[in-house]
Amino acid sequence: METFAELADEWRVLAERSRNVFGTLEWAQTWWRHFGTDREPRPSLVPSVAVLPLYVDRVGPFRLLRFIGHGHADQVGPVCAPEERDVAAAALRDVLDSGGFHLFLGEGLAPGWAEPIGARVIERAASPVVTLTESTWEEFLAARSSNFRQQVRTAERRLGQRGLRFRLADDPGRLDQDLDVLFALHRARWPGSPWFASAEAFHRDFATRALERGWLRLWILELDGSPAGAWLGYRFAGVESYYQAGRDPALERERVGFVLLAHSIREALADGMSEYRLLRGDESFKYRFATADPGLETLARPVGALGRAALALRTARRRLRPGA
């Protein structure tokens, strides 16, 4: 088993080819620093082809083989270029055939991995994307319905009457303050949704590293000089990914979130991004913009009676607590 440091050079090259910010060495290292305690790292390399960022997690009597970064990443799996997936899948199958675990759980993989590695799909999730083929924002809007165009323009024009301003968080000395705004607005809008806020230390850590590398996209929407909305995303290898947001719940009718989302897509298009990923979830607002939805899959491959028992327990748990 190689260490993170031993894999660093190839990992960074392969992550660029994968075009997935959640496949970067930086994401894996940050995740491991916050969530890797008492877990057994098992990353391995297929030279010039793929990194298999795996680890073993002990849950009671069970040994679970999983991908580093899951849970807070939308898409995990072998880190490789799309054209190298067959070779990467063969290498992953060899790892699975070698044993040393009771249940392999691949959470949030792109479709198409199950059959080559001898696993089965146990869950599917939406993951809409916007293919950015237009040259300008006006061309982008022209390809949508007249009703949609009118809504975008009207919502932004109304906010313009209240001193609308978009500010990109690009100052390292102010990043903590800008992240304070994001988390405060997120908690205000979704006070009963702890998934993002409960991992605040992790997200602050990764945002700092992402800013250093030019990946961070944190937009603050201000009205009359005060923050009203925040949008967190990452820009990597020509792909913009919308990760999380927050907004003032008192401004629900002003459509702050809609305007901020449209702005982030407009900026991605203007800066030459080829794809905008709305990430996991089938919320209706995403499909106002999306052009496709390749989806994500969770795969399972149990080994022996203990593996089947672990999978059955996981299935029962998720029926009782969806999203657990």
Q: What is the pLDDT of residues 142-189, one digit of tens each?
A: 999 999 999 999 999 999 999 999 999 999 999 999 999 999 999 999
Q: What is the pLDDT of residues 31-71, one digit of tens each?
A: 999 999 999 999 999 999 999 999 999 999 999 999 999 99
Burial level of 74, CB count in 10 A (0-12/13-18/19+)?
buried
Strand partners of residue 248: none
> CATH 3.40.630.30 in the chain, residues?
129-287
Q: What is the pLDDT of residues 175-231, one digit of tens each?
A: 999 999 999 999 999 987 777 888 999 999 999 999 999 999 999 999 999 999 999
- pLDDT value, residue 117: 98
**Dihedral sign, Cα of residue 171, residue 174, residue 175, residue 179:** negative
d(C-alpha 35, C-alpha 18), whole Å: 24
- pLDDT value, residue 67: 98
Instruction: Report the CATH fold assignment for 4-125+295-320.
Output: Aminopeptidase (3.40.630)
Candidates 51, 32, 50, 52; CA nearest to 40 is: 32
What are the tokens at 178? 């800008």
Helix (H) / strand (E) containing 51: strand 50-59
The pLDDT mean for the chain works out to 95
CB 27 within 8 A of CB 69: yes
| Count of C-beta atoms within a 10 Å radius of residue 226 | 10
Instruction: Report the CATH fold assignment for 129-287.
Output: Aminopeptidase (3.40.630)
**Dihedral sign, Cα of residue 254, residue 277, residue 197, residue 59:** positive
Number of H helices, E strands in the chain: 12, 13
* DSSP 3-state of 197: helix
What are the tokens at 137? 């924002």
